[in-house]
Structure formats: structure tokens, C-alpha cells
Amino acid sequence: MEQATLLGTHESTAIKLSINGKDHSLNVEPWVVLLDALREYLSLTGTKKGCDHGQCGACTVLINGKRINSCLTLAVMHEGDEITTIEGIGSSDNLHPLQQAFIDHDAFQCGYCTPGQICSAIGLLSENKVKTTADIRELMSGNLCRCGAYQNIVAAIKQVKGNIAE
């Protein structure tokens, strides 16, 4: 009796991804998650691997402007999408307003979660759902900070958003 294999022949798939405004051609196995494609295939290590289960938000990137946990989506699913990682947000000479606000409010300590926090906050602000401080806390709840810089993260987002009711 022949035994079937679930993973098939282990052949890679050629894909093209648009990341931070640049096109990249990759050969990846179909089960490679976007996080691993970014970090292992393209050396874009700003996006962090935390829990690998979509529970911490360290791997948050923007797909067509919407925040997503890159550990929960396959790289092959994102051909034709515009992927933005922390490396594509601002530069050392020209910081994004959220990057500057994180500095202004000391909204990071160890810095491990900061790339995901910033990407998530950019997505959050573009969703235009924030009316109160409680909204920020709720809508950022998928991004964990082990150092406990939550108040400072909220203050940074409030600085950029402006006109937030308590």
C-alpha cells in the first residue's frame, strides 16, 4: 500500500512581492509565511518573530495599508499587494511622525515590539476609528509590550492623531 504525503514534492514556487516600494523575486516553498520570507529570504529583520501564533503583534506589517500579522499569512498570497515593513517607514534623516512620537514619548524600552507597534499604529490611524484614548487601547490590544510601555505608546499615537477625547 502506498503512503500519501501531505507536503507533496517540496518544490518551491516563484513569486514576486512588492515590499517597501521595491519588487522582489523569490522562490519559496508554498507554506512559507510572509514573516519568514521577509526575514530569512530578504534579510528584512525589522519585523520581529515573537510568538509565531498571531498573539503578540511583533510581526505586524502593512498590506495595502492594512495591518496584518505576517506570521499568519503565506507569502504566496501576497503577489500584487504592497507590503510595507518598518524598513519602509521613514528614514534616519526623515522619520515618520509616529517614529518621532515614539522617541518624544519614550514609547519603547527594549525596542523588540516597536516595529510592530509602529506599523500597527499607522494602520490604526488610517482606519480612522479612533475617537478616544480607550479606542487606541482597544485597537492596539493585539500588540504586546513585555516592558510595559503602553502609556507611552498611547501618548505617542495621541500626539500624531491629535484631538482625542479621554
Q: What is the pLDDT of residues 140-159, one digit of tens each?
A: 999 999 999 999 999 999 99
Complete domains list, the chain, with CATH? 13-88 (3.10.20.30), 97-161 (1.10.150.120)
Which cell is 100 given?
Answer: 518621532
**What are 69's strand-pairing partners?**
60
Question: Whole-angstrom Cα distance, residue 17 to residue 45?
Answer: 16
pLDDT at 3 over 50: no
Closest CA to 105 of 42, 59, 154: 154
Which cell is 30 given?
Answer: 508554498
Does this model's pTM top 0.95? no
Which cell is 43 given?
Answer: 534579510
pLDDT digits (tens, 9 = 90+) for 41-52: 999 999 999 999
Which cell is 114 given?
Answer: 516597536
Q: Is 4 helix (H, G, I), strand (E, B) or coil?
A: coil
pLDDT at 71 over 60: yes
Question: Whole-angstrom Cα distance, residue 17 to residue 15?
Answer: 6
Contacts of 17 (CB under 8 A, 6+ apart): 23, 24, 26, 37, 75, 78, 79, 81, 83
